Amino acid sequence: MRTADIRQRFLEHFAERGHTVVPSAPLPTPDPTLLFVNAGMVPFKPYLTGEVPAPWERAASVQKCVRTLDIEEVGRTTRHGSFFQMNGNFSFGDYFKEEAVTYAWDLSTRSQTDGGYGLDPDRIWVTVHHSDAESRGIWRRVAGLPDERIVARGDEDNFWSMGVPGPCGPCSELYYDRGPAYGPEGGPAVDEDRYMEFWNLVFMQYERGEGAGKSGYPILGELPRRNIDTGMGLERMATLLQGVDNLYETDETRPVLQRAADLAQVRYGADPEADVRLRVVADHVRTALMLLADGTAPGNEGRGYVLRRILRRAVRSMRLLGYEDPVLAELLPVARDRMAPSYPEVAEAFTRIAGQAGAEEDAFRSTLRQGTTVLDTAVARIRADGGRSLPGAQAFLLHDTYGFPIDLTLEMAAEQGVEVDREGFTALMNEQRERARADARARKAGGTVDTTALRAVLDAHGPTDWRAWDTLETTSRVLALLGPAGPVPVAGTGDVVTVVLDRTPFYAESGGQDSDAGLLSGGSVEAEVLDVQRPLPGLVAHQVRVTAGELAPDDTVHAAVDAEWRLGARQAHSGTHVLHAALRQVLGPTALQAGSYNRPGYLRLDFPWRGALSATVRSEIEEAANRALRRDLPVGVRWMTLPEAKELGALALFDETYGEKVRVVEIGGAWSRELCGGTHVEHSAQIGTVALTSEGSVGAGMRRLEAAVGIEGFGYLARERDLVSRIAGQLGAPRAELPDRVAGLLDRLKAADRENARLKQQATTARAVELAERAGDANGVRIVTTTVDGGVPEARALALAVRDRLPGGVPGTVAVGTEDGALVLALNDAAREAGLHASQVVKRLLGGRGGGSADVAQGGGLGPGEIAAALTALPAVVTAR
């Protein structure tokens, strides 16, 4: 049975039993504690915890998940995959244990001709929590399981919680006996390779208190509404139903593995180490496909770094298999064809996906060449000195300067028998991160607020009444004042605190739009609003600086958004939509927004594209955007379901999570139609103008457009006009003639540079002839020492010119010092044949510093006295070989 069919049967089974089928959420998640959705329940977490009322009593989904904590185990075990799909059914205060067990048993054991999976009921084992006699009785009654196949286990295996105070409860897991070929008998407590877990039923019925670990925390009592949260591993069920050994050999993964094996000309199953690498490739290519499809782009931080690491591990695994040509273009289409039946978006977005992946592979191949050379040199030096550890500073240099991920350094160093000072590397990384955090804190006043304190406010008062779409002013009550240490009783002049209001007109930063600015005022108090965020779903928090008087909880204040600020924000956000539509109009549908930021007067938009945009293309994009402004297109908002929005062709940002109803912003109807929660103008002409200010790269296969908008856009154009006027005045030329006049000046400058280089070369040649004729002799070695007024390039050019003019059959050595403290040494062929090595000679002259090749080497950072001493010592060093 194909994986796509297993998926469909699951959804149909639960839809027939009153469950609403909920589409998979995108892999990037807004949960601040996660980079990606890593379990099927993550999108349902607010409903399970009671933070937000559930829109359904019963739901079912097949959720895309990514886990990378065990990435080193991928390919080495049968159970670890970085991308997987979790089938789940959920009850929010509706049914409980008996129904959950009945639904799972029925689907698992019903015959395939009747729509089930057809598992042999005599080979299914279950586990229950040792305290859960109720579940044991249900399994006996519903499934007829004997006691010996109902295994009692402890908290570590069969009690679930989120790791923090909140809902918890016992769970019951289903295992399938794959037979004696996979291990010893005795049930899942004996061998979990033979007895493969395929479904976990969580009975969420208690509330837990504070405590670390998976046990030892207090149970505070029963939940007012009991929930069901189950997860059936789709890949595991496919492994069982397709009769293969592991998840890498199922129908969605094996074709990628086989294509990789064909390219590398190896046979899967012939060599254990090669098999691991093939499984890594198959898993990582599929994971990368799904992450790229959901809008994640390779980068150096967070989600982007995870994707970059996965792509690079796949590429490098193929190189270790002996295949060194570009490989992603060969493997991604195979993964696409296998995943598209369940996720058609991977086919729809494949041109973009392939472009981003190809650019990342190209960049990595370049990085690999440079970084490998640096790493190999460092390892050789360590070995020569008798060491076995690469310093943390060297690993950090590889990461920071050459883009070499630390995991790659660890792998490659280990292959050469060298350890890495991981602690030293981590310390340097932490220093760099702390500098970045300090810089961010300097740009954004005030400190952080403990999430526990914010959650207490949300629990006590409920969600914020958010009015940003409707008004610029509200009369509001202060629900809480919070600082880094928790609640604050009062805030005086100069204090920066976080304020939670019962209602607010302020837009909280989201969807690329910066937060509003404005004031809170009332009585004798006035406070400037510095920042507005949504730290928890439903809660809006304002960071304010009190500029006069005192602010306290329960105060009534007038909350007013700065109208000019909001106007600029609306212009910039609508301008972003217009620029996005213009970009796609000119470049085509693959130029899909991958990230944006806008504030009054400014916008930026990132999109996948290989290669810089020409001046002509940039002009076409800008013209298309401003033509839309001139047409004064209407801007409208419509609410609809997500499937309706997709059917309408609305574009969705992948890193956003959408509810049952979505907000669609249209500019000119279908010309620009996007899901968006931001604030917008009423007609496109209100944007004023969109003036492109820059276009450049922000990573492999990713470009960024920046633009000035509204009055700032007109100001930018006015400054450009004034600049052109000044240049025209200085050159005494009409504006229309400026390009030709400037081109003529550049041509003359280039000609002058060429003439200067020719004269310089003549001077160097003349001096080289003179120095070669006056070469000294030290025990049969011709020696030339001198200095130059320039730097290393001039010294190197002179040293090589002199060397080439020394007699060919006689060993010759040339040393040239520079005015900026460097020394360059060059040897001829005869000197090397006589046993001299330029790098070794430089190190002897400079006390171990410097290095290079056998014929040319150099050292730097020398004082005038050191250069003179080195030049004087050269004869003794070369004759002491």
Binding site: which residues?
573, 577, 676, 680
Amino acid identity, position 201: L
Structure tokens at 235: 């890949």
Q: Which residue has the tokens 């909001």?
A: 566
Cα distance between residue 315 and residue 178, in whole Å: 34
Among residues 603, 595, 615, 579, which one has the least CA distance to residue 716? 603
What is the SS3 assignment for 32? Answer: coil
Would you give the DSSP letter of residue 612? P
Cβ contacts of residue 723 below 8 Å, gap of 6+? none
Strands (E), 24-133: 58-66, 83-92, 124-129
- Report helix angle 302-320 to 406-415, nearest 10: 20
Q: Which helix (H) or strand (E) holds 705?
A: strand 702-709
- Annotated binding-site positions for Zn(2+): 573, 577, 676, 680
Would you give the DSSP letter of residue 491? B
CA quadruple 36, 41, 44, 45: dihedral positive or negative? Answer: negative
Among residues 322, 416, 426, 310, which one has the least CA distance to residue 372? 416
Would you give the DSSP letter of residue 171? E
Amino acid identity, position 278: L
- Report helix angle 302-320 to 350-384, nearest 10: 70
Q: Which segments of 326-416 does DSSP mark as H helices, in order?
A: 328-339, 345-348, 350-384, 392-402, 406-415
571 backbone φψ class: left, alpha, beta (φ>0; ψ -120 to 50): alpha
Q: Which residue has the tokens 């929660």?
A: 677
Strand 672-675 to 661-667 pairing: antiparallel
Structure tokens at 303: 């989600």
How many helices (H) and strands (E) the chain has is answered by 25, 33
Cα distance between residue 702 and residue 356, in whole Å: 7
Rg value, the chain, Cα: 34
Cα distance between residue 34 and residue 310, in whole Å: 17
Strand 473-483 to 496-501 pairing: antiparallel
